[in-house]
Structure 1
């Protein structure tokens, strides 16, 4: 089964960027933030409608880069509302294609789009380098957006993206596998291990899940939910601790699951993985709330067999969640049409998904509270999930996302290091603490090279 390029956005660059990404990020030159944008052109002020939407005498152009296959109705819809805006949408393959291209044009200082789609965990990489514009002075606000997505759209106290969708973590599970072996949906991590043991005893070739040795996103989501806060940035002072209490809890638990053969240490989003997902080799899968769209697009033979649930918690009766992914629209600091680009980003984050909520069928989890509260979204049954009203669950799970998490100001680069450090212990060895220590060494070294004061020196 060929992998849908759209799905690569969910694997992030640690999986698919590799050499091209590493070279582009080195060229990008992420460095400690100075407090002002080094490439910003002009200063913001109150923007009038002419600046935002153009006029007959002075039309405005807004270029927008994104991944996947944009809806062909997007440009005509915006043109109908704002006839003097020439919206130019460029699809740049997957995120593995988009991010190196952005790094190249930003470093060159020419050729950058007015605005671009970014995964929210990757936004700080570009903001720290001075390539993005603070959107607040141009009228942008995230007051009407999901609180966790709104937090993820800010860096250093400034707003650098308008969120479009978000990825509160979800446990997807196969009802037929659970029913066949008399398993109960686990609500705690102790129960999850017990379920894994029962499944392995009844079906030796089955696994409770896989754990991807190349995907730092899943690892960081599980660390976040366990209470880990390994990255904390204050100005140019960066603390990195991949051995804090929550991270150690994650490492100990999953090292044991790997050593006992309860999870399969293989990459996700490969042809083999999709085949195993479809055949019931894996009873559960952890993903963001976008996961149902992956299942619906790629595993139509499983329609009705999957369900969504909260991921297990460390203590019974608690509801602590984390996030995997999420996207937003950011404005380039070199854009000559910042007000128009911000206006488009605001529309794209709320009005566009609201207009398409029926057609989209709630395929991704919208960041806009207006869309989240719309009955057409909330009450849309999911075919792949057996008619479950998953949107209602997703809203709840997003509200459970714990605060205090930060991504690195060079997360893109760090993700690319994961598979050759921490990921090696996922694939074999099964000492995740040792692997995370190796990852930390390289994260700290790179941060110091970029001018950050890391762990006090």
Structure 2
């Protein structure tokens, strides 16, 4: 267990603090991460302000899900709060392991301004998917969405502007590639991450992997004409204006290419910002900015969600549930979220601006983060998301490395996705092959 110990931040007491008085101690399962220290700082401030105690059980990412599974399935839970990654949300929600927050405190809703990341804080048990009208299951504790990163020095030299459409991004990438100073665009097309990275292209073209058609019913639509246009754009960016071997580039390689100045543009998670601004790890400190992802043909913008949501298990006593919600409600208040950003965290609100943070250039990412977070989507909103992603990744990767045409790749991805859905009890319809 890790006791919260970090520099305290002076924050104003608000409604959340009033709800948090005189609560029993609680324990939270949380991941070891670059933003852990910032979260610990807020826990430390909560304890100082309220006198309540929060104990953190910190676990490496790879072991946290198993700890959560074991705790929520037991007769008595070991944790009063569990920190759930976006990839695991549908599994934990669908299992009925968490107490809806409206049951913990009658009528409770997220404070205005808190982001839901594509309604992933709410679950419709009947439909088996995320839905804004479903039960509120948790409070986000760290936001992580994709943004467009670009090198401002290169943009200024070539007279470029941040792109508003995919065609404009393609044009910028080609201009940079032709100039020869850096790669025009860096993809993230390795098999372990291509589905996540492709999601904004797909959804901004008003397409999807599949759609829930009712209880236990799914329509596989990843091989639609709109999806084909999205994948053609993805492959064009990856192969015509990027580094050699685009199918081997994962998140680490992408960030390194940006940080060394060899890559001029990329779509990556906002969590990469800290590394790009770290003088010990980056040659482009102060030279990278972030923007809203490009819009599709009809003006739709989408960003892949990669956030964390804190939930309260059913198998802990009611007094512990109430104490857990009191802390989460306190944490979500705007003034605490401002301090969270100052401590190095990624906020979970869309109403924090540069004005809230002062004129420190280190926080210039906030505008782009907030914009993209409001367009966050979950590409595979069902319990077997990881299995489905792995099934489709091979075909998408083969399109990038030239072993399949985009149409062939999407047809195969549709067949593989349909198989996963059918094996997990869905009645599936599928579009005809392209």
Structures share a fold, TM > 0.5?
yes
Q: 1:348 aligns with which of 331, 335, 355?
A: 331
Q: Deviations over 1:363-407 (max 9, x none)?
A: 52x2235x6268333x44333xxxx743234334444x2789762
Following the alignment from structure 2 to structure 1, what is the Cα–Cα distance between the partners of residues 331 and 185?
38
Aligned to 1:253: 233
Following the alignment from structure 2 to structure 1, what is the Cα–Cα distance between the partners of residues 161 and 404?
27
Query: What's the secondary structure of 2:296's corresponding residue?
Result: coil
Alignment of 1:201-212 (within 5 A): 201-203=178-180, 206-212=183-189
Deviation at 1:408, TM superposition (A): 2.6
Aligned to 1:7: none
Following the alignment from structure 1 to structure 2, what is the Cα–Cα distance between the partners of residues 447 and 418?
12
The reply to whether residue 151 of structure 1 matches residue 125 of structure 2 is no
Aligned to 1:330: 311
Aligned to 1:450: 424
Cα 1:358–1:441 change in 2 (3 A) is closer
Query: What's the secondary structure of 1:200's corresponding residue?
Result: helix
Deviation at 1:440, TM superposition (A): 3.5
Native 8 Å contact 1:208 1:282 kept in 2? yes
Native 8 Å contact 1:132 1:332 kept in 2? yes
Q: Deviations over 1:283-321 (max 9, x none)?
A: 1111344442342247443111111222222349x4634
Deviation at 1:208, TM superposition (A): 1.6
Cα 1:334–1:151 change in 2 (3 A) is same
Q: Runs of 5+ in structure 2 lacking a partner? A: 1-16, 125-133
The reply to whether residue 238 of structure 1 matches residue 218 of structure 2 is yes
Query: What's the secondary structure of 1:251's corresponding residue?
Result: helix
Deviation at 1:116, TM superposition (A): 1.6
The reply to whether residue 268 of structure 1 matches residue 234 of structure 2 is no
Aligned to 1:228: 207
Q: Runs of 5+ in structure 1 lacking a partner? A: 1-48
Following the alignment from structure 1 to structure 2, what is the Cα–Cα distance between the partners of residues 108 and 86?
24
Q: Deviations over 1:38-69 (max 9, x none)?
A: xxxxxxxxxxx9x97666xxx44333333323
Query: What's the secondary structure of 1:229's corresponding residue?
Result: coil
Deviation at 1:329, TM superposition (A): 0.9
Following the alignment from structure 2 to structure 1, what is the Cα–Cα distance between the partners of residues 237 and 404?
9
Cα 1:420–1:353 change in 2 (3 A) is farther
Aligned to 1:40: none
Query: What's the secondary structure of 2:248's corresponding residue?
Result: coil
Q: 1:174 aligns with which of 151, 155, 161?
A: 151
Following the alignment from structure 1 to structure 2, what is the Cα–Cα distance between the partners of residues 281 and 374?
29
Following the alignment from structure 2 to structure 1, what is the Cα–Cα distance between the partners of residues 182 and 270?
28
Following the alignment from structure 2 to structure 1, what is the Cα–Cα distance between the partners of residues 286 and 144?
22
Deviation at 1:89, TM superposition (A): 0.5
Structure 1 range deviating more: 209-218 or 296-305: 296-305
Native 8 Å contact 1:114 1:335 kept in 2? yes
- Cα RMSD of the aligned pairs, angstroms, is 3.5
Cα 1:356–1:183 change in 2 (3 A) is closer
Aligned to 2:26: 61
Q: Deviations over 1:21-49 (max 9, x none)?
A: xxxxxxxxxxxxxxxxxxxxxxxxxxxx9
The reply to whether residue 435 of structure 1 matches residue 409 of structure 2 is yes
Cα 1:319–1:299 change in 2 (3 A) is farther
Following the alignment from structure 1 to structure 2, what is the Cα–Cα distance between the partners of residues 154 and 54?
29
* Alignment size in residue pairs: 392
Following the alignment from structure 1 to structure 2, what is the Cα–Cα distance between the partners of residues 287 and 237?
33
The reply to whether residue 162 of structure 1 matches residue 139 of structure 2 is yes
Cα 1:323–1:276 change in 2 (3 A) is closer
Aligned to 1:312: 294
Query: What's the secondary structure of 2:307's corresponding residue?
Result: strand
Native 8 Å contact 2:41 2:343 kept in 1? no
Following the alignment from structure 2 to structure 1, what is the Cα–Cα distance between the partners of residues 78 and 418?
30
Query: What's the secondary structure of 1:395's corresponding residue?
Result: helix
Following the alignment from structure 1 to structure 2, what is the Cα–Cα distance between the partners of residues 287 and 80?
36
Aligned to 1:17: none
Q: Deviations over 1:158-195 (max 9, x none)?
A: 11121234345421101223344554443322222222
The reply to whether residue 80 of structure 1 matches residue 48 of structure 2 is yes
Aligned to 1:394: 369
Native 8 Å contact 1:240 1:444 kept in 2? yes
Q: Deviations over 1:223-272 (max 9, x none)?
A: 122211333233332333212343222112223334546463333333x4
Native 8 Å contact 1:115 1:329 kept in 2? yes
Structure 1 range deviating more: 127-136 or 258-267: 258-267
